[in-house]
Amino acid sequence: MFSGLRERLQSARDRLGASIGAAAAASQPQEPEKPAALEKEGEAPAKNPTLADKVRILIIDRELVVSEKDIADALSELEMTLLESDVALPVTDALIADIRAGLVGKHRKIGESVDSLVVRSLKSALLKVLGQGFDLPAYIRSHERPVKILFTGVNGTGKTTTVAKIGAYLKKEGFSVVIGAGDTFRAGAIEQIGVHAERLGIKVIEHQTGADPSAVLFDTVQYAIAHKTDVVLADTAGRFHTKANLMSQLEKIRRVMKPDLIVYVDEAVAGNDAVVRAAEFDKTVGADAIVLTKADMDSRGGAAISIAHTIGKPLLFLGTGQAYEDIMPFEPGAVVEELLGGAA
């Protein structure tokens, strides 16, 4: 997952480390060679310290102060790397600014290697833009039941399958679940969610094709209340934010259902398009969290890196395959460790 971005960040890590190391070595005064006449009999001729020796002396045995000039070229290269990976421009700017602030003008402690210094700054910057994530089981346990979750998004992003996956995930966490088949317009949508629900042993509330989705989801909430069900998962028809009538319908659904959480679903492979659409949905009907599907097919990672920071809402899950268990709670720390190879 995000293999291309991981390789590019590893390259940026090496470049930053090399730039700082070279600057450190250049600042080390040259020690004069020991005159041959003063060498003791049988003593090997003294050697000039190598670049590695100089970096070790300056980084391990002394404090190091990094200058803007030392890392300017490496940061410029990293900026292009992030943009080419579909990381949104505001997020790229924030990352570069945080990395620069984490390196320039700071005294580094004795005993810290160049690589540790660089990786620590990269990790800190990435964690800032990725946010805190969202612990859905903890949220459900701390709120009045049923917890009502409304799923929105554009056509063809895997929203209905995501609803089923999250239903399976919550069942494993010990919660009772009911699904509302609120996509009453797409051909086969009611049948699709019904098949998923039957396989998973989850109750589904449905009306006939063409019914008012608000009515379906109202009935789903009433069922959950009557049967003391923990969670309502409300599927809806996919729609683009530019379709005013469909967005108005979604607003009606929100008023009738009164969801506790609105979850926006899009594809990781959509890159910056997913970021823009999420922001528009948030403006129109709101969004409390985001799910990105097809993360296993996304080598660039731009949407996952950008979306939480850009719209200020946490990533909830990443879809990583076709099976019901192929959904991963988004944990920023784990993602950063994977991107940077788990280095300290």
Binding-site annotation: residue ranges for GTP: 153-160, 235-239, 293-296
Q: Is 30 exposed, middle or buried (0-12, 13-18, 19+ CB in 10 A)?
A: exposed
Q: Print the SS3 string covering 297-330.
A: HCCCCHHHHHHHHHHCCCEEEEECCCCCCCEEEC
Q: Is 325 exposed, middle or buried (0-12, 13-18, 19+ CB in 10 A)?
A: exposed
CB 261 within 8 A of CB 139: yes
- Residue 238 and residue 159 in contact, taking contact as beta carbons nearer than 8 Å: yes
Residues making up the binding site:
153-160, 235-239, 293-296
Count of helices and strands (H, E) across the chain: 13, 10
In whole angstroms, give the CA distance from residue 300 to residue 131: 19
Structural tokens at position 169: 């995930």
Structure tokens at 148: 């009502």
